[in-house]
Amino acid sequence: MQEYFEQEKNNMLQLLERIVNIDSGSYQKTGVDKVGEILIREFEQLGFIAEVHEVVDRGNNIVLKHKEATTPSVLLIGHIDTVFPAGTVQKRPFTIVGDQAKGPGVFDMKASHVMTLYSLKYLISQNNDAYKNVLIIINTDEEIGSISSRELIEATAKTVKHVLIMEPADVDGNVVIGRKGGGKFFLKLYGISAHSGVAPEKGASAIQELALKIVQLHELTKLEGIHVNVGLVSGGQSVNTIAPYAEAGIDLRFETQEQGEFAQLKILEICNCTENPNIRIEISGGITRPAWKTEGNKSNLFFLIKEAASELNLELVTKYSGGGSDGNFTGNIGIPTVDGLGPRGGNAHQEDEFVIVSSLSERGQLLVKALDRLSK
């Protein structure tokens, strides 16, 4: 099997270069759909049939199933959107430096799709029917909360026994069996403008009101299992004007649903209560991903994958992540889920993002072994 992946290395890297060199930020429908179309053609060559779920203002979500499949019991999930704006590819296109491939979205998570494709191609070449036991969802808005794809993911997950989230692994190859839940809130404050030197008493500062709320919001982080971060702030008209407008973006993370629901209530309470009656407030958003924690910190699915790894002399270690993924949805509804099964690498969402080229083979072999075991 290792020989197969070595032989296919150049083909894998060529495909990876093609899809990395397409800007596919979550709001760039044309680019996201172009990546999806390339992957559909590749999977169709293996006998997979694509069911395209069209989305008007985002990329189309894709479900893949082999034409010989009947009732697959394993669902693989991975996204093709990235966090990067249009024009990023032109500034720093796909490159290979030693054993690292670089470029926007190469690690999170375009390399995972290439690895998955070639793992299934290997199974087919070996007449191993495990490829018939697989459903694949390629979604296009994971980086913004899987708004259009969550319903599809949850409905499909309920038809299978196991879910493998193909998000990338960290440098050490750890797999994820739990993630914090998360939410996003958007706060807008409307005040009254006035000249700050001539008649400040006629104004109502939206920025001052926001500053008071930021302190209160960050105080919520002292509560067990809760982290609140005001990560975006803007507002004002000019330096000598009482600010008529301000806005903020608020991120919430929590370990349990109870903590999340309590924190959401506190955030809304803080934001809706004004110190100045002349300030008008609008608050939107809420919890976007439920918390997911595997009972007993382990699962039978993980142990099966761990046994598959041992055949390859790989040591798998589990971790609990503060970041969200589509595993939050499937794990939360009770479907056995293991996350972080993609290639190893690091620096997701950063300019120096990288994937370890040799891990395409290493993790590809692990996926082959896992699918084989799950199909017996």
For residue 15, which of 135, 92, 112 has the smallest C-alpha distance? 112
Q: Is the pLDDT of residue 132 over 50?
A: yes
Mean pLDDT on 169-195: 97
Alpha-carbon distance of 137 to 122, in angstroms, equals 20
Alpha-carbon distance of 105 to 34, in angstroms, equals 15
Mean pLDDT on 345-360: 98
Residue 296 is predicted with a pLDDT of 54
Q: Is 142 a catalytic residue?
A: yes
Residue 352: how many CB atoms within 10 A of its CB? 9
Per-residue pLDDT tens over the stretch 77-119: 999 999 999 999 999 999 999 999 999 999 999 999 999 999 9
Domain boundaries, the chain: 2-180+291-374, 181-289
Residues 170/340, Cβ–Cβ less than 8 Å: yes
Q: Is the pLDDT of residue 294 over 90?
A: no
The two structure tokens encoding residue 179: 């993630």
Q: Is the pLDDT of residue 298 over 80?
A: no
pLDDT band at 293 (very low <50, low <70, confident <90, very high): confident
Q: Do domains 2-180+291-374 and 181-289 have the same CATH topology?
A: no
- 129: amino acid identity, one letter: D
Q: From 3.40.50.300, 3.40.190.10, 3.20.20.70, 3.30.70.360, which CATH number describes the 181-289 domain?
A: 3.30.70.360
Per-residue pLDDT tens over the stretch 17-59: 999 999 999 999 999 999 999 999 999 999 999 999 999 999 9
Residue 297 is predicted with a pLDDT of 46
- pTM reported for the whole predicted model: 0.92
Q: Is the pLDDT of residue 3 over 80?
A: yes
Q: Is 6 a catalytic residue?
A: no
Residue 260 is predicted with a pLDDT of 97
Mean pLDDT on 304-309: 96
Per-residue pLDDT tens over the stretch 229-263: 999 999 999 999 999 999 999 999 999 999 999 99
Average pLDDT, the chain: 97
- 286: amino acid identity, one letter: G
Report cis status (omega within 30 of 0) of the bond before 109: yes
Q: Among the options 42, 81, 141, 372, which is catalytic?
A: 81
**Which ranges in the chain belong to alpha helices (H)?**
2-7, 9-20, 29-44, 88-91, 111-125, 150-157, 206-219, 257-272, 300-311, 327-332, 359-374
- The fourth-level CATH superfamily of domain 2-180+291-374 is Zn peptidases (3.40.630.10)
Q: Among the options 17, 142, 362, 372, which is catalytic?
A: 142
**65 Cβ contact list (under 8 Å, min separation 6):** 48, 49, 51, 72, 134, 135, 136
Residue 371 is predicted with a pLDDT of 99
